[in-house]
Amino acid sequence: MNREVFFESQLKNIHDSQKWMWAILAGFSVFTAIKKILEHHKSANVFPSLDEQIGPYLFFLVVLTVVYRFYVADSRILDYYYDSVLKSLNNSQDKQLFLDYLAKLDRSQFFFDATGRVVQYFLIVFVASNIASYRDFTISITLLLIFNAIYSRMICSTFQIKTEGIVDENIRTEMNFGKARKIWIYNNLSFAIILTALLSFQPPFALLQTSTALLLLANSVLDIFLLNNVYLPDYKRMNQTPTDGSS
């Protein structure tokens, strides 16, 4: 077995094991949220206000959108850097490009990718476990948004691997993870600041839980709308239309 085949098989194993781990934690998050919402449903009529009754149901929807956007986005990044790039390199005549790319995917990169995202999914489980408590839910999802923004920034500044001239230009432009990371940072930090303000000042809204849930749903919708190329990539355009952009 030559070096290229060996390294590619090892990275494929890393790719698959990480994805399975995320899928298990994402599934456990949904399971936890369902368990909590069923417990809330049994006692919903005990709460004095309509807001307290329907709030957890809306928080359950928030958890579903968060699980979707985080799992899909992380999977796209993993598929790109650990699969698409490798296939492009292995099909290249210049095998030195392949070895140079592997040199950038060192142990610190593997550790950072694995531990950072696992921590992120444990935070999602934490969020799901708190959907029956407005304050705990808001604190936990604020922590998740802040962690994701910091993690995305660290990838941008330290671990971003340039793929210009390596991956097919259409694929690289369509994914455009450089733009995606910036949007994740600004979007999540902005909403984290708003949530922190709501927690700090506790405005006397009659529908505080409902308003917070709608705010968080807007965070997810905005993210998916601005980055529809990541969540719903246009494979036809990637195959047929050359464009310009950067990774």
Is residue 137 within 8 Å of residue 57, measured between CB atoms?
Answer: no
Cβ–Cβ contacts within 10 Å for residue 40, how many?
Answer: 21
What does the pLDDT read at residue 157? 47
What does the pLDDT read at residue 91? 62
Looking up tokens 């921590």 gives: 119
* Cα–Cα distance measured from residue 183 to residue 223, given in angstroms and rounded to the nearest whole number: 7
What does the pLDDT read at residue 17? 80
SS3 229: helix
What does the pLDDT read at residue 233? 78
> What proportions of the chain, in percent to the nearest 5, are helix, strand and coil?
85, 0, 15
Cα 242 from chain centre: 27
* Cα–Cα distance measured from residue 11 to residue 230, given in angstroms and rounded to the nearest whole number: 22
* Cα–Cα distance measured from residue 34 to residue 202, given in angstroms and rounded to the nearest whole number: 28
Q: pLDDT tens, position by position, for the chain (247 residues)?
A: 566 666 667 777 777 888 888 899 999 999 999 999 988 877 766 666 777 788 889 999 999 999 999 999 888 888 877 776 666 665 655 566 666 666 666 666 677 777 888 899 999 999 999 998 899 999 999 999 999 998 887 765 444 555 555 566 666 666 777 788 889 999 999 999 999 998 887 766 668 888 899 999 999 999 999 988 888 877 666 565 444 444 4
Largest Cα separation within the chain, whole Å, is: 70
> Computed from CA positions of residues 22, 155, 243, 230, in that sequence, does the dihedral angle turn out positive or negative?
positive
Q: Which of 226, 222, 231, 21 is nearest to 120 (CA)?
A: 21
Q: Tokens at residue 84, please?
A: 């698409």
What does the pLDDT read at residue 155? 62
What does the pLDDT read at residue 187? 93
**Exposed, middle or buried by CB within 10 Å (0-12, 13-18, 19+), for 133?**
middle
* Cα–Cα distance measured from residue 55 to residue 153, given in angstroms and rounded to the nearest whole number: 32
What does the pLDDT read at residue 172? 65
